[in-house]
Structure 1
Amino acid sequence: MHRIRTGIAALAMLAGSISAAIAGVELKFAHAAPDTDLQQNLAVFFADEVAKRTGGEVTVKIFPQGQLGNDQQMISGARSGVVDIVMSGLNNFTGMMPRLGGLELPFMFQSREHAYKVLDGEIGRQGLAEFEQFGMKGLAYPENGYRNVTNNTHPIKTPADVAGLRMRTNNSVALNELFAMLKANPQQLPVAELYTALETGVVDAQEHPVNITYSFKFYEVQKYLSLTEHAYSALALAMNLDKFNALTSEQQKVVMEVAAEATAMQRKLSIEKQESILGELAAAGLEINRDVDKAAFQEAAKPTWDSYVAANGDELVKAVQAVK
């Protein structure tokens, strides 16, 4: 009798998979960036390739610029199934998975290449596996990029220049601690509210990769961009776990392969376009400062590592630093 019930269950699952393939699956893909951002380039590549490689069985509809909510709302939607795929800063997931906050520590990575090797290797795969306990399938780590400071007061050359700035920060524990130690006034705001906050003087500084400063047009309400490169920020691409499991094994393979290829494509674009974006920002009137004492900033950031290790242990930090 047990074998019969098992066989019936297997047939039901097979029938469901065949039915889903025939009927077609549409996935809702949400992210917070404008459609001029590299995140949209990734989303479009992902949508096109998934549709092509599944013969149209799986299609992807893209919702950019927070159309389905702010980052936390989109992530909650991906957990519940209201959103199928979400792309958001890795920092927005570390409230659930604080250990992964180690990947957000200031000066954690020696270079982009170091970051890619860590994120695409065993450390990154272990991180993606953690998403499953929260109802999501971790797919990949696209690039947000190196974070830099913009403000309306003066160029940032040394850590002392940060003091007194009303600095918009994301929800990274380490970055908030860093700017508080540098005697700024860090304030957490959703990125969708940041332009208005800068325009009205609620905050007078922010820190983002240059592509975000460009695509969100923060250059219109800021005067100085200093290339502090104080932290490398990854994005996380994740899918609702039930929706992923409902795909056929072949469709799952396509989703995983395309996510990896889309991430590689977007990272390449990020590197290739950085100098041209800086040129556009300068042409728009933003003063670009490359004269930054990064060694002094790195020294100033050391206590953030100590705080992370005290709360989460040193396993992840040591593993990242061991990757050459």
Structure 2
Amino acid sequence: MRLSLVAALLASVAVSQVANAADITLAHGENPGNPRYLAAERFAELVEQCTESGITVTVAPSATMGDDVEMLTSTVAGVINITANSQGAFAQIVPEAGAIGLPFLFDDVQTAWEVLDGQAGELLDARAQENGLKLLAMWDNGIRHISHVSKAVPTPADLQGMQIRTPPDEMSIAIFEALGASPAPLAFSELPSALQSGVFDGQENPLTNIYSAGLHNITPYITLTGHQYQSTPVVAGLGWWESLDAASQECVQGAAQDAGAYQRDLSFEANNSLQATMEEEGTTFTEVEDRQAFVDATASVYDTYAERFPNFVPALLEAAER
């Protein structure tokens, strides 16, 4: 379901469909072992500990409640209470969120976290609430790299014509079009079979996602491009959120942020240690030959987004010290 249909969907959703505040669902798309999966379990534990009203949390992982777009639509509609989602899908509701993924914007994840925990995050929350969502926290989705079925891609020239899967994210598509590749969006849950069937030459993700989904077994050549950072927005349906009393709201948001700190630590540690593990399992890693060549090739993406968001993008660049 396209997110452009959310308004029409909301008009048809009865108040009775909003889930009972005492029994809530958090849905996400990751598999066991992934930091997002573990953080969602931690969130459930924290909420059940801190709510006097006895809120219980059911976690629905591995896209069992639909892909990211479907989960967000269901959250706006009140069918799901909370989703730990993807930046690309979230940007279909809050377009400014796409700018977080500007190519080579952040030198490291810690800088990205500081920016998102500041005024940028506050602006995104305000925009989310205008569109039926409450932004609870910004978890991590890491620095992204390219994996290929048969070769390394250390220069932009190596990407010419490459059939590459991206998330449903305008920014990711724009980056790879600028690099001369042929990007196409696809739900993450469908990616392994699409790679195995030859629909794509490769894909791009942080190492944690590549490893937990077993994608390194299908695309064993990973080039450490570090081309983009992405977050994991954790959002609640605004109708459900506003039905909570102040104490429950404080509990839920605090749990989302505490679980986010845990998730960020897990993600950081995993991305630092996974290369050795994956090399032992047969993955070949390659560094880019000239990072500046990638930066120069994607400069036009900055021009496009600066024109689209003339206030947000300069503020983001200043916060990132770019």
TM-score by length of 1: 0.89
- Indicate conservation of the 8 Å contact 1:164/1:184, yes or no: yes
| Mapped partners of 1:113, 1:254: distance in 2 | 25
Superimposed CA distance per residue, residues 28-69 of structure 1 (whole angstroms, 9 cap, x where no aligned partner): 000011122110111011000110111471111000000011
| Mapped partners of 2:105, 2:83: distance in 1 | 25
- Indicate conservation of the 8 Å contact 1:159/1:296, yes or no: yes
- Out of 297, 313, 318, the residue aligned to residue 314 of structure 2 is 318
| Mapped partners of 2:283, 2:235: distance in 1 | 34
Aligned length: 301
- Indicate conservation of the 8 Å contact 1:128/1:140, yes or no: no
* CA-based RMSD: 1.5
| Mapped partners of 1:297, 1:252: distance in 2 | 43
Which amino acid counterpart does residue 148 of structure 1 have in structure 2? H
Matched, 1:200 2:197: yes
Matched, 1:259 2:256: yes
- Indicate conservation of the 8 Å contact 2:21/2:240, yes or no: no
- Indicate conservation of the 8 Å contact 2:86/2:231, yes or no: yes
| Mapped partners of 1:139, 1:251: distance in 2 | 13
**Residue 284 of structure 1 corresponds to which residue in structure 2?**
281
Alignment of 1:66-145 (within 5 A): 66-145=63-142
**Residue 270 of structure 1 corresponds to which residue in structure 2?**
267
**Residue 240 of structure 2 corresponds to which residue in structure 1?**
243
Secondary structure of 2:316's aligned partner: helix
Q: 1:216, CA displacement in angstroms?
A: 0.8
| Mapped partners of 1:157, 1:257: distance in 2 | 42
Q: 1:99, CA displacement in angstroms?
A: 2.1
Secondary structure of 1:226's aligned partner: strand
- Out of 298, 303, 311, the residue aligned to residue 306 of structure 1 is 303
Secondary structure of 2:130's aligned partner: helix
Matched, 1:54 2:54: no
For structure 2, the 5+ residue unaligned runs are: 1-19
- Indicate conservation of the 8 Å contact 1:79/1:135, yes or no: yes
**Residue 6 of structure 1 corresponds to which residue in structure 2?**
none
Structure 2 CA distance for partners of 1:24 and 1:295, relative to 1, 3 Å: closer
Which amino acid counterpart does residue 76 of structure 1 have in structure 2? T
- Indicate conservation of the 8 Å contact 1:156/1:292, yes or no: no
Which amino acid counterpart does residue 173 of structure 1 have in structure 2? E
Superimposed CA distance per residue, residues 1-45 of structure 1 (whole angstroms, 9 cap, x where no aligned partner): xxxxxxxxxxxxxxxxxxxxxx97011000011122110111011
- Indicate conservation of the 8 Å contact 2:139/2:263, yes or no: yes
Flag the structure with larger Rg. 1
Q: 1:79, CA displacement in angstroms?
A: 0.4
Superimposed CA distance per residue, residues 183-202 of structure 1 (whole angstroms, 9 cap, x where no aligned partner): 21111111111000100101
| Mapped partners of 2:109, 2:289: distance in 1 | 19
Secondary structure of 2:25's aligned partner: strand
Superimposed CA distance per residue, residues 59-83 of structure 1 (whole angstroms, 9 cap, x where no aligned partner): 1100000001111110000000110
- Indicate conservation of the 8 Å contact 1:86/1:239, yes or no: yes
| Mapped partners of 1:321, 1:135: distance in 2 | 28
Matched, 1:158 2:189: no
Which amino acid counterpart does residue 264 of structure 1 have in structure 2? A
**Residue 16 of structure 1 corresponds to which residue in structure 2?**
none
Secondary structure of 1:229's aligned partner: strand
For structure 1, the 5+ residue unaligned runs are: 1-22
Q: 1:290, CA displacement in angstroms?
A: 2.6
Which amino acid counterpart does residue 316 of structure 2 have in structure 1? V
Secondary structure of 1:134's aligned partner: coil
Secondary structure of 1:110's aligned partner: coil
